[in-house]
Structure 1
């Protein structure tokens, strides 16, 4: 298991993850809460959410972005087109980025990396272009390097993420159908060179059939640990 050095990573169902650094920076990734059938009952978001990271514009990743950002006065970080949409909806604090870029907030450096997916934003009766889908590398000062893949298939250039950022823990979608399944996640984990995988984006809806058990079986003997936790549980 990667040493999280005081950082706490809490899975909130689907692709929603909360990260609390040892210094106290609070980060929420892909807020999908009210309509998320796997969001843990009785869980309350922290009063302080410094950053919201949005990997792409699909509703099961940003459905609650606007409400949470306004309520918690959070800074939203994402692809420039998605951020432009969020600002048009009243989000005041936002950082638009693009692939390969990094931005520093206190003890956290956020780097934007490639993902292979799509990113249309459903806005009323229209679909708005949300820019390219992305993943995030979160590098914590005096702490771990974490990678949230967003929605993606496995791709060879994940090796560049390994070489550039050296992540220790990868949050990888395994549900299949809309993203890679366990077989793809095995290749992704090996390309990334990570010590541990937190499976995400599975079991939320019937079509997402990939399981942590299958991932564990396929990774057996690889030295990569699968940290399968229930929504609301944390890695420390």
Structure 2
């Protein structure tokens, strides 16, 4: 299937290296929208109009419109969480209470979210839980989610200290009539990423260094996965996250991976069809 992409800025932004298209209907057959809120937070709108949020820390320091974005979210069908750290749980509980969204997470993380973070129990159905290697089909077949591992920490902070919240992970999300999206979560490079080669259209990869892969190892992960497109994430939110997209692009070039990187700006939407 031929893949065409365009980056749509919600504000008036001119980027000579990207092509832009007018906003399209979320229910347009074959069209998937992906919005980046900064850090690891993304919104996916499927061709059927379903709304997914991944690690929705909408009000992170990198998002100047975070408060407004949170207020204007409206409909959300599913919230997908990679692990229990605060910069990934983010605003998920508030969003769930307001929207009625269901939680997609590993079984241990789902239990921790209900027990310690206040996620509505009725929206944390075990049918939406899984574990690494497992796959679930959701939203009447609109979305399939495979749970993928990650090499990172998985505790959750509470007012009584950190608690166990399961092992960290990522997701391979297959959209009906749309792309296959790999969100790495927070991770180091690991060789089993290569098992996803040939099955990923769009890869969101952490590049910030210190707590995750930096640009060099992130480029190595792209070499293993071989996605059609890669979007850097989890950088620049805090001074400690020193990896940059420019460094990432240099490392990709060293590996002769071509023009696979697409740098998004916070608040922009990528349209895939």
**Shorter-chain TM-score range:** over 0.9
CA contact (8 A) 2:35 2:42 kept: yes
CA contact (8 A) 1:13 1:40 kept: no
Query: Where do 1:216-227 residues align within 5 Å?
Result: 216-220=249-253, 221-227=256-262
SS in 2 for 1:199: strand
1:149 to partner: Cα distance? 0.3
Q: Residue in 1 aligned with 2:75?
A: 48
TM-score, normalised to structure 1, is: 0.94
Q: Residue in 2 aligned with 1:154?
A: 189
What is the root-mean-square deviation in Å for CA atoms of aligned residues?
Answer: 1.6
State the distance in 1 between where 2:259 and 2:150 align.
22
SS in 2 for 1:71: helix
Q: Residue in 2 aligned with 1:211?
A: 244
SS in 1 for 2:103: strand
CA contact (8 A) 1:27 1:53 kept: yes
Deviating more after overlay: 137-146 vs 214-223: 214-223
State the distance in 1 between where 2:113 and 2:83 align.
12
Deviation readout 1:42-72 (Å, 9 max, x if unpaired): 4344311101000000001003121111111
Aligned length: 233
State the distance in 2 between where 1:30 and 1:153 align.
18
Q: Residue in 1 aligned with 2:17?
A: none
SS in 2 for 1:12: strand
TM-score, normalised to structure 2, is: 0.81
CA contact (8 A) 1:53 1:76 kept: yes
Q: Residue in 2 aligned with 1:194?
A: 227
1:125 to partner: Cα distance? 2.0
Query: Where do 1:73-222 residues align within 5 Å?
Result: 73-88=100-115, 89-91=118-120, 92-94=122-124, 95-106=128-139, 107-162=142-197, 166-220=199-253, 221-222=256-257
Q: Residue in 2 aligned with 1:63?
A: 90
Distance 1:53 1:210, change over 3 A: same
CA contact (8 A) 1:195 1:224 kept: no
1:2 to partner: Cα distance? 5.2
State the distance in 1 between where 2:212 and 2:3 align.
25
State the distance in 1 between where 2:161 and 2:252 align.
42
State the distance in 2 between where 1:171 and 1:209 align.
17
Deviant stretches of 4+, over 3 Å: 1-5
Q: Residue in 2 aligned with 1:38?
A: 62
State the distance in 2 between where 1:90 and 1:202 align.
27
Distance 1:37 1:29, change over 3 A: same
Structure showing greater Rg: 2
1:183 to partner: Cα distance? 0.4
1:10 to partner: Cα distance? 0.7
SS in 2 for 1:110: strand
